[in-house]
Structure 1
Amino acid sequence: MRYSHKLSDAVHILAYIEIYHDDDLSSTAIARSVESNPGLVRRLMAALRTAGLLATQRGTATPEVTRDPTDISLLDIYRAVETDDNLLHVDDKTNPQCIVGGNIQETLREAYATVQAAAEAQMASITLASLIADIWQREQQKTQA
């Protein structure tokens, strides 16, 4: 199973832009921090721009977060970059002649919907500002050690 890192990388990009706002904000510089390639960074930045979370200008490396980080939730970022809104997925290829195989999909869909709602509520309560504050706090702890 492959895991998507889009959310993690998108948060990384937004935090990088906020923290390094006066430095090199090219996709190449950001990609070095993410340890990815500039093309991936540009694609994620395009998704963030489409969602209204980021402003960019073609030909310049001057991206800007469009809202105050206290007004951007982890859920906002998630919805901007993830094409499949569901965290959990049901295997629809099961044996309908089996008691379990014939009923598991609907049972899991209901359970997963509960998990999805709880996760989205929690993600909505986490702001980009709180994540950036945590990054700064961890950096301070490293420099004091």
Structure 2
Amino acid sequence: MDTKFSVALHILVYIAETDKVASSEALAKSVNTNASHIRKITRLLKQAELLTSQQGKSGFSLAKEASEIDLAKVYRAVYPEKSLLNIHEDPNPACPVGQHIGQVLEPTFRRIEEDLMTDLAKESLADLIQKLYQKASN
């Protein structure tokens, strides 16, 4: 299963909360993966203007306040052109189901994706950080 979204959120929370240099290596240790995987995801986050880094300096910082980064922005950063739900291609046109299944499923799939983005937009990185501290204090 693809975990880019959860890794991207992990990276952003770590960067927001660390007082150390948030290098690819430090992030990789926190996520428990390799630094090249982290660099792929941080590249997407930089392209979406959620992260910044300075040439010649190690580490990343948030490009915006944590309260300004909603989860929908992060999702779209790591999946810029990916649909959550896809309709299979080339169903049998001679089949009564195959003739119409795409047209029947498309509005439902679109609504589900829109609902997901609406829900993700309601939660910010700051909200995740607050939940993290609440969980840690229990």
Query: Normalising by structure 2, what TM-score?
Result: 0.94
The residue aligned with 2:5 is 7
Once the 2 structures are TM-superposed, how far is the Cα of residue 67 of structure 1 from its aligned partner? 0.8
Secondary structure of 2:42's match? helix
Structure 1 residue 43 corresponds to structure 2 residue 40: yes
Query: Normalising by structure 1, what TM-score?
Result: 0.89
1:104-119 matched pairs, under 5 angstroms? 104-119=101-116
The residue aligned with 2:14 is 16
The range that moved more, 110-119 or 24-33, is: 24-33
Contact 2:22–2:61 (Cα < 8 Å) also in 1: no
The range that moved more, 69-78 or 51-60, is: 51-60
Distance of 2:34 and 2:59 partners within structure 1: 18
Q: 79, 83, 107: which one pairs with 1:82? A: 79
Structure 2 residue runs without a partner (length 5+): none
Structure 1 residue 138 corresponds to structure 2 residue 135: yes
The residue aligned with 2:59 is 62
1:92-111 matched pairs, under 5 angstroms? 92-111=89-108
Which amino acid in structure 2 is aligned with residue 6 of structure 1? K
Which amino acid in structure 1 is aligned with residue 7 of structure 2? D
Once the 2 structures are TM-superposed, how far is the Cα of residue 86 of structure 1 from its aligned partner? 1.4
Equivalenced residue count is 138
- Summarize deviations over 1:50-86 as a string: whole Å, max 9, x none: 1111111233223110111111110000111114331
Contact 2:24–2:59 (Cα < 8 Å) also in 1: no
Cα RMSD (Å) of the superposition? 1.2
Secondary structure of 1:94's match? coil
Distance of 1:58 and 1:37 partners within structure 2: 21
- Summarize deviations over 1:26-51 as a string: whole Å, max 9, x none: 11111111111101111111111111
The range that moved more, 53-62 or 40-49, is: 53-62
Structure 1 stretches (4+) deviating beyond 4 angstroms? Answer: none
Once the 2 structures are TM-superposed, how far is the Cα of residue 24 of structure 1 from its aligned partner? 3.7
